[in-house]
Structure 1
């Protein structure tokens, strides 16, 4: 395949630039495992003379997802030729006066920056998963579970105070989708990917402030959306966050120009839209909308980035216009909340209430209450997502604006600093809880499943939660649920998480009862088995030929599902290398409990 050829060239170029391979291992299986599961270090981390653009070329060629690589060798060759002999036009060409030309000029500059293709690829992959059929929930979970750091951050976010009204603790992506909704989880994931990309990078301080500002705007928008009767308040949150996408991206990829935009705003009568257009040839909102379209974000989010045409704003005629109005109102309230003093804030909120009053039922008192409530939510979410935010100027601005009212607005807290300190400490403990030992993750999943059983969740969703708990808890490379085919004496792979499932789910069948292989014995005798090495002398002959042809793991665990003495299914979890999978006694007991929960669910629904 062309994408494989590009990957091979990328590997060769990596070694030429650094003097060492991109990945090393003791044997072929270890190397393949690292290629599939571990991120590559940029060549510049091993050779400081490698430029940022060359880094980007190599890393794009080595992308895990073939769709994110160069389309073919010719495209990669052009990128290398451009790097070696950049055209004079690149240095001298300026954006045209035409808005679309300016946007394309800026987007091309961003595409050549390190990290932007990977960011775009990740967000596009998440967003390609659309709500609807069962398979979409499975597909979204698969995309998110490939990134354990993203999964943990997402679970911390759904368990934060902003979602406390749902009740209980959520420990799996599958249950998060069931409780919060498909779109809410997908949009949160996109937000986290963006924030993580911008956090702790160059120009970190300025970007951190912009990220916190965007997060605060989203929190306010969610509250306003609920009050405005928006059907899905989480859409308000994502629209509020992405309202400032153009500003965020400019601060990261077009840093010098973003500083000039800020300077013009401070020293002239220009607003942000006019100042950014004067400096860049396209406004921040136009840049944000263009990037959002390239990421295939929903039309409602893209529309929410545009400025309001009518002044004063008019009553929205449809749901999309309502979301756009809510996002614009949230942005104005966010700015007012850090105006510098309580009188200035109140004056701005009164002006905002008058400006938006004809379009949305709001008054100064409600806006003030929304702003004060959102401060506490911001502190909690900022601590969960960004760590210690005590040094944030934006948060300091909120404190200065709130003044003595901060303590009244936030009971159980003496000062804003104390709240930040408390939430940071809580976030640290939550982070530790989500970097748990396998037994802790399994136990949390069991509680999730118990709650789902009480809620009478759909059987397929329940089985996915069980699979996800096993996958995350044990760190399996692949976990599969086989279910009996009533038309044949076989079990067929029905669901799974992990690598290369397209060739397995719905295609791989497990015959049993006709031989003494480990699978048939496991099912016939209803025993749980841990096979540490399929090539061990006492095991080799018990490994069936169909298994070897399927190129599955060298070590695995089997948990049969038996109802009324009849085997109807099997949980299979594997790792690629012999002796790589170890299962402690407590972990095995918890895996058995998960299997027993599946048996109970199947029995209840017979």
Structure 2
């Protein structure tokens, strides 16, 4: 296979047919991926006609500019005179493949994928262009779930209402009967094909299936399709009439064009108060406008960067574990909170106290720690800001939904409970951030919902231009959240999915996220007139079959989630006393029992995880516990305590199966946390190059790390002195005239730190590595004698790990 077509470098083959092939290629001039469709005319008897047909396709597509039609860039011939067309490359999957995976879809879900394609064909319709071969295999769904129509190879430009083709072109299952009989082409050809596609999406069934083309054609001409509502109860009479009119076998009874079909669907959506699904172009513009407003806020870029750093990491190997620990350790406050949570009652784990992030990742797993970090970053950012009551209420509800989802996943025996926890929290991300960044608009949305009695999604679309769910998906992608979270932010259709016998793991996570959030909403709306438990039964039963849940689980899991939330809040310190979710959970208990112990200081209530919260009271812990927590808060940053805890963790690891890299990462993490180094680096000897080189660190980037190296050939400087004598060297002020002469030139070129420590790792009196840490200002780095001894112990543990490795 030739590696070039024209100027384009071929990467791989994407598809092949009887007449030609489609390749993925790269444009070396514009540095972008393209799809190249080429024909091998040497193998064809009608080479001239084939070339003309390809050129005609190019001219047809070039007349259209629409976000849901694959764009053409250029046309040409290769050295063998084979014609080719160069298209935009769309990453994604064919609609035909997606339909096999999804099965029966709801009206809303089907239109989210197909409506923009209908609008694109309506646009072509208005240019008098008829596609003539619409089918699921000619519609690509890109990574943003937006459709792109391709293959206008047999498209026709109508100069009058009807025309005919010489011959038979297209895919019989999607051809209207009059075309099969007489090869008649009208604007109704495309609306008919779209009607068939919509029918298949809503019923999960392929129509007019046959052993051969003759049988298929016979079915297209004579077989009447059953009403789609027979297979999907989500379809009401009005929408069914739209589908049946689109696929009527008589031309005069059908929509005359795709524009008419599109108008009928728009009218239906408006009548039913459903979000009028926008074209991709309008939707993208609305989302981008909102994101621009958010990016202009001072805090949003920093929040995005923090979340993106953590979310981009993949749990593939020990490198992923160490990178996650490294990013978290950079934030000392986040580190301390995570360690409190993993050692709290909420995680109910055994095996001793966890004292370092690296150890926490190993003990609880990559996903668990990433979940805690991501949720803490978001919650810490939001819960104490402005819009206090409304925003705090929403934060508490999201947290409750997360712990409820985790308990549901545990009860349903789903492996990754952390996915459920995060999905529960982020399900209403769009609404949460709208309250924070667009507070006036969010209040207006609530007002419109009440005054006009319309859905929240419809109200949000009126005010913001997109629904809360669509905004949430856009932000989740901006933050690099995992795909399963992005998926669970979308609405879950219980009407359709409750009839399915089996759900895959991702679908179960989606169901759990939706259930936990819907139940949270019912609890928030609880009042004295009706217990939320009674209102929840019907909702609960829509999910229980696929999730292996029983009616009796509802109350116990909701109560357990409340206890977990209170346990979690002993660390998060959010004032939950007036939150809707706590009041909703305790309103019935308050009737039966009012045994709260009152403190003399205002109206605060002493609580443990089993007690209740009533209106006007603040969640606190008892005075003894509070004092203890305050002591922990005061001593958690004490270097001696951090070093001792780290030594305990590393000593425990050395009795288990470990990697040397893990031990060195853990040692550096402990040092970095204890002394809040501005830069912290681990170096190892490279015998081939005869250098000591930086391997990893904190507060650094790859460029810094690549420069942090020096030759092992002895020079009279502090680094070689440390290695030669095997001694730790602590410099409190590098600007001192006596000291500066001993600081090597390579160091002075890359670092401006005025105080640092070097600790060589020795094995058999030979330096095999070193730990380095610094502070920018002179005399900022203070290390007491006791702390120096503990640092030496850490260093010896690193050496012990190496020795044991060589002895294995």
Q: TM-score, normalised by structure 2?
A: 0.58
Work out which of the residue numbers 282, 285, 297 in structure 1 matches 2:481: 297
Could you tell me how far apart the structure 2 residues matched to 1:293 and 1:374 are? 29
**Equivalent in the alignment of 1:599:** 799
- Matched-pair contact (CA < 8 Å) for 1:285–1:305: yes
Larger CA deviation: 305-314 vs 215-224 = 305-314
- Alpha-carbon shift at residue 243 of structure 1 (Å): 0.6
Deviations 1:293-323 (A, max 9, x none): 2222111101101112241643453222111
Distance 1:226 1:511, change over 3 A: same
Match of 2:720 among 520, 530, 554: 520
Task: Tell me which residue corresponds to 1:446.
Answer: 647
**Residue number in structure 1 paired with 2:550:** 363
- Give 1:201 shift: 1.9
CA contact (8 A) 1:482 1:571 kept: yes
Match of 2:621 among 422, 440, 464: 422
CA distance in 1, matches of 2:571, 2:739: 47
Given the alignment, which residue of 501, 514, 517 partners 1:328?
514
1:282 aligns with 2:466: yes
- Work out the CA distance in 2 between the residues paired with 1:142 and 1:508: 18
What is the CA deviation profile of residues 145-201 of structure 1, one whole-angstrom value per residue up to 9, with x for unaligned ones? 333233333333333322232543333322222222223323332222222222222
Which runs of 5 or more residues in structure 2 are unaligned? 1-275, 597-606
Q: Which residue in the other structure is 1:346 paired with?
A: 533
Between the two proteins, the alignment pairs up a number of residues equal to 510
- Partner SS for 1:556: strand
Residues 51-84 of structure 1 deviation map (CA, whole Å, 9 limit, x = unaligned): xxxxxxxxxxxxxxxxxxxxxxxxxxxxxxxxxx
Corresponding residue SS for 1:496: strand
For residues 8-157 of structure 1, what are the structure 2 equivalents within 5 Å? Answer: 98=279, 100=283, 101-157=285-341
Q: Kindly indicate whether residue 582 of structure 2 is the aligned counterpart of residue 395 of structure 1.
A: yes
C-alpha distance in 1 between matches for 2:768 and 2:310: 34
Matched, 1:200 2:384: yes
Match of 2:352 in 1: 168
Tell me what 1:529 maps to. 729
CA distance in structure 2 between the aligned counterparts of 1:428 and 1:399, rounded to whole angstroms: 26
1:273 aligns with 2:431: no
How far the C-alpha of 1:425 sits from its partner, in A, is: 3.0
| Distance in structure 2 (CA, Å) of the matches to 1:213 and 1:430 | 30
Deviation at 1:581, TM superposition (A): 1.6
Say whether 1:259 aligns with 2:443. Answer: yes
Looking at structure 1, the residues matched to 487 and 503 of structure 2 have their Cα atoms a distance apart, in angstroms, of 14
C-alpha change, 1:137 and 1:224, in structure 2 (3 Å) is same
Once the 2 structures are TM-superposed, how far is the Cα of residue 460 of structure 1 from its aligned partner?
0.9
| Whole-angstrom CA distance in 1 between matches of 2:468 and 2:627 | 35
Q: What SS does structure 2 have at the residue aligned with 1:577?
A: coil
1:494 has 2:681 as partner: no
Relative contact order higher in (CA < 8 Å, ≥ 6 apart): 1
The structure whose Rg is larger is 2
Structure 1's 158 and 108: CA in aligned 2 closer, same or farther, altered over 3 A?
same
Q: Which moved more, 1:370-379 or 1:140-149?
A: 140-149
Structure 1: runs of 5+ lacking an equivalent: 1-94
Q: CA deviation at 1:435?
A: 4.3
CA contact (8 A) 2:519 2:536 kept: yes
Q: Are the aligned partners of 1:337 and 1:371 in contact in 2 as well (CA < 8 Å)? A: no
Question: How many Å separate the matches in 1 of 2:564 and 2:631?
Answer: 16
- Give 1:191's aligned residue: 375
Q: CA deviation at 1:375?
A: 0.6
Cα distance in 1, alignment partners of residues 321 and 754 from structure 2: 29
8 Å Cα contact 1:142-1:498 kept in structure 2:
no
The C-alpha deviation readout for 1:349-391, integer Å capped at 9, x for no partner, is 3223322123221122112111111111111223322444334
The Cα of 1:114 is off from its aligned counterpart by 4.2
* 8 Å contact from structure 2 (residues 762, 799) kept in 1: yes
Is 2:510 the partner of 1:309? no
Q: Contact conserved, 1:513 with 1:524, CA < 8 A, in 2?
A: no
Q: In 2 relative to 1, CA 106–407 (structure 1 residues): closer, same or farther, beyond 3 Å?
A: farther
CA gap of 1:434–1:277, structure 2 versus 1, over 3 A, is: farther
Whole-angstrom CA distance in 2 between matches of 1:571 and 1:109: 44
Question: How many angstroms apart in 1 are the aligned matches of 2:558 and 2:642?
Answer: 36
Q: Pairwise CA RMSD of aligned residues?
A: 3.1
Q: Secondary structure of 2:555's partner?
A: helix
> What is the distance in 1 between the residues matched to 2:443 and 2:413?
38
Partner of 2:29: none
Aligned equivalents of 1:604 and 1:335: distance in 2? 56
Partners of 2:626 and 2:497 in 1: how far apart? 42
Q: Following the alignment from structure 1 to structure 2, what is the Cα–Cα distance between the partners of residues 218 and 144? A: 21
CA offset digits 1:185-241 (Å, max 9, x no partner): 233322222222222222111100100000000001111112223221100000000
